Structure formats: structure tokens, C-alpha cells
Structure 1
Amino acid sequence: MLLSHKRADFGEGFLFGAATAAYQIEGGQTEGRGSSIWDTFAATPGNVHNGDSGKYACDHYNRYAEDLDLLADGGFDAYRFSFAWPRILPQGKGEVNQRGLDFYDRLIDAMLERNLKPFGTLYHWDLPSALQDRGGWLNRDIAGWFADYAVLISRRFGDRLASTATINEPWCVAFLSHMLGIHAPGHRDVRATARASHHVLLAHGTAIEAMRAVGGKNLGIVLNFEIAHGATNKPQDMAAARLWDGIFNRWYLDGIFRGKYPADVLAHFTPHMPDAFARDMETVATPIDWLGVNYYTRGLYEHDPERGAFPIRKIEGPLEKTDIGWEIFPQGLEDILTRISADYTSIPLYVTENGMAEVEGVDDPRRVAYYDAHLGAVLAARRRGADVRGYFGWSLLDNYEWAEGYAKRFGLVHVDYQTQKRTPKTSYRAFQELLTGANRQVA
């Protein structure tokens, strides 16, 4: 066996799936699709490795049937995908692009034909450029724009979706994109970061309320988590790790499940926060039905007073690393799942992303070992009382890896970007064996 676990270990009803995101795989920038912030960010020299963009990506827009066949043949139960906001609303609001809606009709119906449960995500980072022109996540009005978009999706597709997530990884939307400048729109500004960090959660809560009002069911959000450890046991390094845990993890958990932001992070953000933000916290904490957990790695942090607004510096750790340089630390997944369940909520949890970048090729034994260890962490968390209902590997396909362009490959399936040929990797075969008891060849 390629994986040491059996499907029966996870119990009746546990879902296995694979995940993708629209901008990373769809291509198909035709038929009325509007511009997104990633189109313009990628077009700006220096932002993305090799100047790569998602213009063609994996051509999933035209090849979705082939990709869904891979999921079905692999024995997966579910497919986590995202809607492209600018494909549906080219200006972000107002006029609807019927051909965009038609594409997602075809995609969702094709999932159902293959007995795949559609797990839809409303926002995986491709903000319509027209809304960025209006301030994007810095403009409080985005809560209303996003809620209107959410209602449109809910009314059109909600009866066919197994679940709907509002936003994927709000830390990336807010901090990575507005403080570190690594992702679109590429700001490096603490005021912008504070505002985006609040508005992204206000938009989430507003959208949950709006979808519920039109009958939306099984609604949640997908948060990403990192285990933050001190580089040493020195008090200042432990404090740096604690602050990073606040920025990365607790800001979103505390906001959603406690209706308040952590005091240590707020101490840095307060001068820059929107006026009367505290009045929004009831909306931020609108109850959800499930929580998605994305987990990849841990980080080691030390105090660095030269770092300005946040005196933290990440240092290289000693553990084995993936091709993108992230430490492999399966224990972290067990820890974060049990921490959420013990400290924050009893609602169902789904591991909505977990995987590793690996070098080019089809034989990927390190990735198989990575998945095996992290599936073991899920089982350990369940034994400790975490209500984990499913696991989605990232990603189904090698794809456009944001600022890394096409240089980093996370896929269970290899993609030749010149020919668009799909070739299942050993890791795909491992899941196929786990889920079907067979290791079938796919043409």
C-alpha cells in the first residue's frame, strides 16, 4: 500500500476530495469575463516569477470534464472549487455575465453526474479590477458588494452545492496582500492592512447573513493556519511567535467565534482601524455551519526591533522542507484541529487544503509520505475529540501558484503547460488505492 491508512479508519460519511481555485486553473479569459486584480498584478514586472499569469493556466474552462473524470476515477467524494467573481460580474457588481453563469451550471452539473459533492468557494482572491478601482478591500462598501454577489450565487447554484464558503484564507487577502505586498494588489501599508483585515471579515459575515436570508444552507469560511514557534526559548522570541499567532490565526478565530479581535494584535492595528469597527463585530461573528482549515507548515520566529510595525522575523527551521521551502510538520495539523475544537467551536471542521510543492515529475514519493503523515494527524485529532468531517488535498492539478507562477507544483496530477496533458502522479494513485481499493490506470 502506498498509504498506511484505510478508508474505514476515517469512519462512515467522512469525505475525501481535492481542491482548486478558479484563477489558478481556469484560463478561459473570454466570453465576457472581466479583469481581476491578479491579471493586473501579474502584468506588472517583478511581481510574479517569470512574469507568468493565469491567462491560460490549466485550461480547465474547456477541459473541466476531463478533470472531473480524474476526481471520479480516483474515488474522491467531493470537489472544492471557486467561482470567479469577474467571470460572473465583470464589473464586480451590476450587470451579470450570463455566459459565466452558464459555465458554472455546466461545471456543477458535471460534478453531480459523477457523484461528486460540489464544495463552492465564493472568493479565492480574484477581485474584479473595477472594485479595486473603488478601493477594494479598503472600502467598507465591499461588504455590500460581496453580499450581493453571494446572494446571486446562492440563488443560482445553492440548491446544487453541498456547501458554500465565503472567503478563502482571509489572512492572505488582508496581510499577505496589503502588508507584505506578495499577493495582489501588492500594498505594503499598515493602515491598508488593518482596514482590509476588518473588512474581509465584515464582508464574510454580511454575506453569511444575506445568503441565509434567501435560504442558503451549509455555509462557512476557509481559514489558513500556521503553527508559530519561538526561534528560541527567550521571552522576546516566544512573544514574537505569540504575536505572529495572533496576526495569522487568532485575529480570524477570535473575530468569528468570540466577536472580538485579540488585544495584542489590536494594539498594533488600533490607530489604523476603521471608525467604530467594534459595532461591526456582531456581524463578523454571525454563526457559521462549518469551518474550513487550510494547513501546510509551521514557522520559527524571533524578535526583531528593526521590523517596524511588527517586530517579528521568520528564520529558517531545521526540518525537511517542501520545494517551496516550507517545513514539513504534520503534528501542526493535529494541534490546530484540536485547538480549534477545544478553544473555539464545536461545529464540524473540514481540512480544506493540505499538500506540498514538489519538483517536476510524476513519481512523487515525498508527497505520498507527506499526505500519509497528515492523514495520520487528522485521525489523531479525531481521537482527541475534533469533529473533522473531511479532507481535501491541495491540489488536484499542478497549476498557477500565484506569485510563484508555474514554478511550483502542488498537483496530484501533473500538467504539461505546453500541451495541457494530464498525467496522474504516484500521489494520485495512492489516494485512488485508499479510496477505491484499486490502482487503475487513467489514459
Structure 2
Amino acid sequence: MAIAAESLAAKLPAHFMLGVATAAFQIEGAVAEDGRGPSGWDAFTHLPGRIVDGTDADIACDHYHRMPEDVELIHALGADSYRFSLSWPRIQPDGRGPVNRKGVDFYDRLLDRLLERGISPMCTIYHWDTPLPLEQEGGWLNRETAYRLAEFAALAADAFGDRVDRWVTINEPATVTLNGYALGLHAPGVPHLFDSLPAAHHLLLGHGLSVEALRTASVRGEVGITNVYSPVVPATEGFGNELMVQLYDILFNGMFADPVLLGSYPRFNPLLTPFLAYFHTVPEEDIALMHQPLDFYGLNYYFPSRIAPGPGPLTGPHAKPEGVPEQFVQDVQDMPFHLTGWPGYERTGFGWPVAPQYLGVALTEMARRYPGMPPVYITEGGASFTDVVVEDALTGEPEVADVKRTEYLADHINAALEATAPGGPAEAIDLRGYYVWTLMDNFEWAAGYSQRFGLVYVDFATQRRIPKASYKWLQQLASHRDRARARL
């Protein structure tokens, strides 16, 4: 049973922000409308066998045309903030050169409507939709893409810098690198394995250059980055497994957070040099650009990782066959480790372990690894489950009783609050908020429409929106929180 909204609301600090998050490519649709150019993800979705259900994001949630309705859903939810992303090819179709005025106009309308409804905008500059011309020139394996992102950040600052409260430069560079360039699960879809490390470096360089661009433009909003974090544990005892845990922890966590927060790439056992030698070659001036003071740090948490040495069966977070293309199954066999299952844990629709206590572990590890880090927002947290629409016996209205998602959100928010409370293991972290992934069911990257994460159910045939039980629970949480604040 989910923690009661009223009980959890009593634990929320006065400054704690409740938000919802989306990404442009996953919801907007209108991929060839009003001057939007193609992205690498557009091309990827039309390759055979890449999307598990054979779909694409050409329409997605049709948010481009239904934006006012969707903002009203956020407003009715009582959310303090909306984290959205800019579609790079909608604003700058070729990834260089002037803006597409109609693309800018769309986000002007979105921002104005959010502010009219009292919703604080958090804007992600890059959420994976690289303009196709840049992808064809090497994408993030090409250092030039970092400079193109900085140019885009400057354009965004000029257009929206007076209205955005918080800027996220890049969302999950780890996922872009590992799923996109190492394993080929995501766009561009060519597995480079450990030869993908330049992509990670160029992403972080793009972050640093974008921070410079935003601050040169004197944007009024705070500036940060969002990284995913997964606590890592060994599946078996022994030095070999511990070594692979260190390797995975560096690849998934350290090589993206350390340069930003510590000003260096992670140190590692010399036995791992064959995999990580690239880090010995990076220019020091690049690290200085990556390591700039931030106003906040975004943390995405979904699951912990349990690692075993050598190739192995897909028994871990990507074990569900309906969530993984066959190409990915083949590529992971060339890795020196594999993700393995978590006995005793319930799993989401993606096969991810439901482990809220490991969110507390993630925050605790970050507090230990990165003393003096800036304030933290959990910028994504959520779960996919099978949702069933039924008709209410009394009203005849459709409803979705997503009990598991409601429990997931309650338990994870509670775990974060307990870990960072005074006396908690991560009390050094100034936790400022939790953003639910996601507002509504959407195009879930390589899984297509097979995985539903939304607080709002979307009937993709009709585009009807149906708030789920989890939406109503979060609505109650916000309402109880607001009433408690009003009494102070």
C-alpha cells in the first residue's frame, strides 16, 4: 500500500519542489512541420528492427498541437515545476546557423502559458535529439558537436533566458554514450563498445561550453546538468567481480560526474587501462571547461546495478524481451561484464528492480564522493507498468488504477527524504525536489510505445488523456503540502 499523501506531505521540506518531466522527441510529434529538421532519432526509428514494437515518434503524443491541454494537466496536478526539453532540430534544423522562427514561437507559447499558470520552467537544452546533419558527421564522436551544442545553448539563452528558472545543459550523457554509441541500443545505433569513450568526453565538453554560453548571455535562471546514477554491487565474491564493478561504476557513474564535480576523470586500477586508456589523453583545458561551478545538480535514479564478470544472459534490468531489440542482445555479448538479476525484488515493465532503498544509497554515495556539491534535484524518477483502462461503475468515466506506480513514487520520494533528513546518511545533500518521469505515456525510445511511465494515460489512437490513480495521488500530495505551508 502506498504511503498516504498526507503523511508524506508532512515530511516535505518547505523549499521542496514537486515536478513532472518530459522530453521533446518523446511527446511532440509534428516531426516535419513548421520547419523542424530531422534528428538522428528520427532516422533511427525508421530503421528495421530498431524499435521493439516497430513504431516511430512521428506523432507521439501530438504535444506540439495539444500543448495547452497538457499544460492544464500540469496545472491541475498542482505541480510546482515542469521540466521539458527543447527540440534542437525544431529550433536549429541543421544544428548550425540561424533559428527556425516557428520553432522558437512554439516554446515561447509554452513558457508563457507555464508562467501564467504559476508553473516554474526547468528547460533541458539537449535531450538526445541531435540534428541529423550533425549525426551524419559523427554525432558525439565528433568533437565539433560540442561546439555546435554551445551555439544552440546561446540561441536558447537569447530566446528564452528571461523566463527559464533552471537550465539543464544535457540529460544523461551516460545513456547517450552507453546506449547510443557503446551498445547501439539507441541512436545512432552503431556499437563502438569502449571506442565510444570520446562521445562521453565530447558530451561533457558540450556541457562546459554550454554553461559558458548561458552565463555569457546572463540568463536569469540557475544552471546545472542532469546525470543518471546507479549504485553498483557485485553478484559474486572475488577480485574479478570487484574489478568489473569498478569498471561499470566508472562507465555509468564516475566518468560523467567526476569531471563536472571534482575536475578530474576517475582514478582506476591499472588492470582496467585497456578499457579506459582514453582518459589519459584528454586535454587539461577540456577538464577545466567541464568543471565549472553549478547552481544545482540533477540526479536521475531508476535502479541499482548488479554486476557479474564476463558475458552472460540478459537477466538484469534489460531482461524483458519486449523491452530490448535483438541487436542489443547480440552486442552485449562482447562486454567484459553483464548485468544480472536481483532476486527478491519486484520488477517494472522494463525488468528494472523496484528498489527505493537504493535511491538512498545513491544519495549517500554522492554525498561521500562529492563533498560540497551544489543543491540536488532528482530530475527523473518513475516506472513503467502495464496499465489497464476500465470504466468506473458509478460515473462511467475511464480510469487507470496504477497502484504499483503510486507505491513506487511514494516509496522513492520517502526514501530520498529520509536519506537527506538531518541525521540521515546523506544529510550533507541539499535536496530541493523530485520530478516524476513522466507526465504522460510517450514514445519510450527503443521500446516504442510498449512501456508506459506516465501519470496520464495516453490512448495513442485517439490522443485522449486519462489521469491515472498515480496522478491523483500526486495531486493529493501537492494539495496537502500546500495546506501545511499555508498554516505556517
- 1:243 pairs with 243, 247, 250, which one? 247
Contact (CA 8 Å) 1:2, 1:430: kept in 2 or not? no
Map 1:259-408 → 2, pairs under 5 A? 259-264=263-268, 267-272=273-278, 276-304=282-310, 310-318=335-343, 319-344=345-370, 345-361=372-388, 362-383=400-421, 384=424, 385=427, 386-408=429-451
Instruction: Give the superposition deviation at 1:191.
Output: 5.6
Residue number in structure 1 paired with 2:486:
none
Instruction: Give the superposition deviation at 1:271.
Output: 4.8
Map 1:85-234 → 2, pairs under 5 A? 85-190=88-193, 192-216=195-219, 217-234=221-238
Contact (CA 8 Å) 2:223, 2:294: kept in 1 or not? yes
Change (3 A) 1:191 1:279: farther
Q: Work out the CA distance in 2 between the residues paired with 1:339 and 1:303.
A: 23
Instruction: Give the superposition deviation at 1:342.
Output: 3.0
- Stretch moving more, 415-424 or 141-150: 141-150
Contact (CA 8 Å) 2:311, 2:334: kept in 1 or not? no
Q: Which amino acid in the other structure matches residue 353 of structure 1?
A: E
Instruction: Give the superposition deviation at 1:219.
Output: 0.4
Contact (CA 8 Å) 1:334, 1:381: kept in 2 or not? yes
Any idea what the Cα deviations from partners look like across 1:125-163, whole Å, max 9, x if unmatched? Answer: 000001112221111111211111001101110110110
Contact (CA 8 Å) 2:311, 2:338: kept in 1 or not? no
Q: Which amino acid in the other structure matches residue 7 of structure 1?
A: A
Contact (CA 8 Å) 2:302, 2:381: kept in 1 or not? yes
Residue number in structure 2 paired with 1:441:
none
Contact (CA 8 Å) 1:195, 1:274: kept in 2 or not? no
- 2:24 pairs with 22, 33, 57, which one? 22
Residue number in structure 2 paired with 1:421:
464
Instruction: Give the superposition deviation at 1:233.
Output: 2.5
Change (3 A) 1:284 1:309: farther
Change (3 A) 1:348 1:268: farther
Any idea what the Cα deviations from partners look like across 1:250-297, whole Å, max 9, x if unmatched? Answer: 111111111111133872455556954333111111221111000011
Q: Work out the CA distance in 1 between the residues paired with 2:8 and 2:267.
A: 44
- Stretch moving more, 262-271 or 15-24: 262-271
Q: Which amino acid in the other structure matches residue 130 of structure 1?
A: P
Contact (CA 8 Å) 1:190, 1:272: kept in 2 or not? no
Instruction: Give the superposition deviation at 1:248.
Output: 0.4
- Stretch moving more, 412-421 or 169-178: 169-178
Give the TM-score normalised by structure 2: 0.86
Residue number in structure 2 paired with 1:72:
75
Residue number in structure 1 paired with 2:391:
none
Instruction: Give the superposition deviation at 1:9.
Output: 1.5
Change (3 A) 1:247 1:275: closer
Q: Which amino acid in the other structure matches residue 91 of structure 2?
A: I
Change (3 A) 1:241 1:270: closer
Instruction: Give the superposition deviation at 1:302.
Output: 0.8
Q: Work out the CA distance in 2 between the residues paired with 1:84 and 1:166.
A: 13
Residue number in structure 1 paired with 2:318:
none
Q: Work out the CA distance in 1 between the residues paired with 2:132 and 2:275.
A: 27
Any idea what the Cα deviations from partners look like across 1:91-124, whole Å, max 9, x if unmatched? Answer: 0110310000000000011101110000000011
Instruction: Give the superposition deviation at 1:213.
Output: 1.1
Contact (CA 8 Å) 1:17, 1:80: kept in 2 or not? yes
- Stretch moving more, 413-422 or 378-387: 378-387
Q: Work out the CA distance in 2 between the residues paired with 1:191 and 1:374.
A: 33
- Stretch moving more, 339-348 or 293-302: 339-348
Aligned pairs, number: 438
Residue number in structure 1 paired with 2:397:
none
Give the TM-score normalised by structure 1: 0.95
Q: Work out the CA distance in 1 between the residues paired with 2:406 and 2:162.
A: 35
Change (3 A) 1:304 1:191: closer
SS in 1 for 2:169: strand
- Stretch moving more, 319-328 or 137-146: 137-146
Change (3 A) 1:276 1:374: closer
Q: Work out the CA distance in 1 between the residues paired with 2:283 and 2:199.
A: 12
Residue 48 of structure 1 pairs with residue 51 of structure 2: yes
Change (3 A) 1:274 1:400: farther
Contact (CA 8 Å) 1:230, 1:301: kept in 2 or not? yes
SS in 2 for 1:49: coil
**% identity of equivalent residues:** 40
- Stretch moving more, 169-178 or 84-93: 169-178
Contact (CA 8 Å) 1:206, 1:283: kept in 2 or not? yes
Instruction: Give the superposition deviation at 1:68.
Output: 1.1
